[in-house]
């Protein structure tokens, strides 16, 4: 189903998913048969204009979204901005955005930038992840969280926090970057308001793949897009000079969709359409539990950074060590690819579509050898690259 180089154990699909085996042919056909032969008529003949909604529904099935509530396009940072701006607009009498210190930095950066642009005395308030529930007070406008912590894999209780936020009169924006395709998500059943996510991690759309946004149908017609792009207009090809929002989730479209990247995503979704997320989650827990057990048995100087309870974490395992960067580089040199997150975290992603129990055992064995013999303690492993 996926292309992986021979001899590589890939435990970094939580950062960039590998190439689906069918992606080259899918993109080739899009380039030659559609763009090449149809030229601009492919927007109609090949259905290019409808792909953001069609792919949105396919992703929606994986995250428990109602049909017609997810659309693709742009980047995750832009989708965070859209969702947060829309949520704040629906709570004009409140000024506080609550998040946690484990949130992915770009989400906090986008919140800071939006608050600065609005100039209406909003405040970004951050607390430790464990303190979020207690910090949901009646002055909160929006609770903005990443469900699965990108460093440790710690997982928030989505349904519980939504209930608490709604009881306090707040709306909630969820970042599903490390959830979609990794764990079971039930946006509709949890009464979610907004959710965003990327597709290049567990969903394997390739580097720079498009992001998605979800808006609950009960509020979709009241949302006023801050980024009112032409494809979010009610009638884009009427070319009106004034903006009229499209119906429902359509209004959250902004610019021209990345068709070639969406073709790559289609190749991956052809696989995901056959997958049950409950099965994925069950296998993920088996893999991560085995890895923790094996690493702790052979690497006593590594400290588990992820929650020990598998129900409290996503589909990744993280360990701490002061020389985490060098250790990860030594692993990569031995064909085990994970990644490093500052200041001291070795991060490993487990993706049941292509990660086997044999991979887990072999990776743990190699890590044990590196730690036992201090094979990481070499100058070339300590030189920081631009991307870690």
Q: What is the pLDDT along the chain (388 residues), one digit of tens a residue?
A: 999 999 999 999 999 999 999 999 999 999 999 999 999 999 999 999 999 999 999 999 999 999 999 999 999 999 999 999 999 999 999 999 999 999 999 999 999 999 999 999 999 999 999 999 999 999 999 999 999 999 999 999 999 999 999 999 999 999 999 999 999 999 999 999 999 999 999 999 999 999 999 999 999 999 999 999 999 999 999 999 999 999 999 999 999 999 999 999 999 999 999 999 999 999 999 999 999 999 999 999 999 999 999 999 999 999 999 999 999 999 999 999 999 999 999 999 999 999 999 999 999 999 999 999 999 999 999 999 999 8
**How remote is the C-alpha of 248 from its chain's centroid?**
23
Token pair listed for 72: 């693709």
Strands 19-20 and 2-3, bridge-based pairing:
antiparallel
CA 190, 192, 198, 199 dihedral sign is positive
Angle at 176 between CA 170 and CA 181, to 5 degrees: 145
Helix (H) or strand (E) run with residue 345 in it: strand 345-349
Task: Give the list of residues 6+ apart from residue 50 with CB closer than 8 angstroms, or none.
Answer: none
Are residues 214 and 240 in contact, defined by beta-carbon separation less than 8 angstroms? no
Which tokens sit at 23?
A: 């992606």
pTM for the model: 0.96
- Find the helix or strand (DSSP H, E) in which 86 lies: helix 76-89
CA-based nearest residue to 12, from 146, 150, 183: 150
- In 3D, which of 154, 107, 161, 109 has the Cα closest to residue 132? 161
Q: Are residues 265 and 199 in contact, defined by beta-carbon separation less than 8 angstroms?
A: yes
Please, which residues bridge with residue 195 across strands? 174, 214
Instruction: Find out whether 215 and 86 touch, Cβ atoms under 8 Å.
Output: yes
* Residue that is written with structure tokens 């801050």 in the block: 226
d(CA 126, CA 144): 10
Helices 105-118 and 76-89 meet at what angle, rounded to 10?
Answer: 50
- Reduced to 3 states (helix: H, G, I; strand: E, B; else coil), residue 215 is strand
Catalytic positions are 104, 175, 200-201, 347
Cis peptide bond upstream of 343, omega within 30: yes
**Residue 388: per-residue pLDDT:** 84
* Contacts (Cβ under 8 Å, ≥6 apart) of 24: none
Cα 214 to Cα 209: distance, rounded to the nearest angstrom:
17
CA distances from 76 to 170, 177, 213 (A): 22, 8, 9
End-to-end CA distance of the chain: 27
């Amino acid at each position: 189903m996926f292309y992986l180089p021979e001899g590589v154990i890939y435990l970094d699909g939580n950062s960039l998913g590998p190439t689906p085996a069918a992606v080259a042919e899918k993109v080739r056909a899009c380039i030659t048969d559609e763009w090449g032969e149809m030229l601009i008529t492919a927007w109609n003949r090949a259905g290019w204009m409808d792909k953001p909604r069609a792919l949105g529904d396919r992703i929606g099935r994986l995250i428990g979204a109602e049909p017609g509530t997810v659309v693709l396009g742009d980047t995750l940072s832009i989708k965070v901005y859209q969702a947060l701006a829309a949520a704040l607009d629906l709570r004009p009498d409140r000024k506080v955005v609550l998040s946690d210190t484990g949130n992915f930095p770009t989400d906090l950066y986008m919140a800071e930038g939006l608050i600065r642009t609005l100039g209406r005395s909003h405040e970004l308030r951050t607390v430790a992840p464990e303190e979020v529930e207690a910090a949901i007070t009646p002055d909160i406008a929006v609770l903005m969280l990443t469900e699965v912590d990108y460093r440790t894999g710690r997982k928030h209780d989505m349904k519980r926090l939504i209930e608490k936020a709604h009881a306090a009169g707040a709306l909630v924006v969820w970042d599903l970057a490390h959830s979609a395709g990794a764990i079971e998500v039930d946006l509709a059943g949890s009464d979610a308001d907004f959710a965003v996510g990327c597709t290049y991690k567990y969903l394997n759309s390739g580097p720079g793949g498009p992001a998605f946004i979800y808006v609950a149908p009960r509020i979709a017609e009241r949302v006023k897009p801050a980024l009112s792009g032409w494809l979010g207009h009610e009638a884009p090809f009427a070319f009106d000079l004034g903006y009229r929002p499209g119906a429902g989730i359509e209004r959250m479209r902004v610019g021209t969709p990345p068709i070639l990247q969406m073709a790559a995503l289609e190749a991956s979704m052809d696989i995901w359409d056959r997958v049950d997320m409950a099965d994925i989650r069950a296998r993920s827990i088996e893999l991560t539990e085995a890895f923790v057990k094996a690493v702790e048995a052979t690497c006593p100087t590594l400290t588990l950074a992820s929650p020990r309870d598998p129900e409290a974490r996503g589909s990744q395992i993280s360990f701490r060590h002061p020389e985490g960067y060098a250790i990860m580089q030594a692993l990569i040199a031995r064909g085990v690819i994970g990644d490093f997150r500052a200041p001291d975290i070795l991060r490993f992603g487990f993706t049941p579509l292509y990660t086997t129990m044999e991979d887990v055992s072999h990776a743990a064995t190699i890590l044990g050898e590196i730690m036992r013999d201090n094979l990481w303690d070499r100058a070339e492993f300590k030189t920081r690259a631009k991307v870690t």
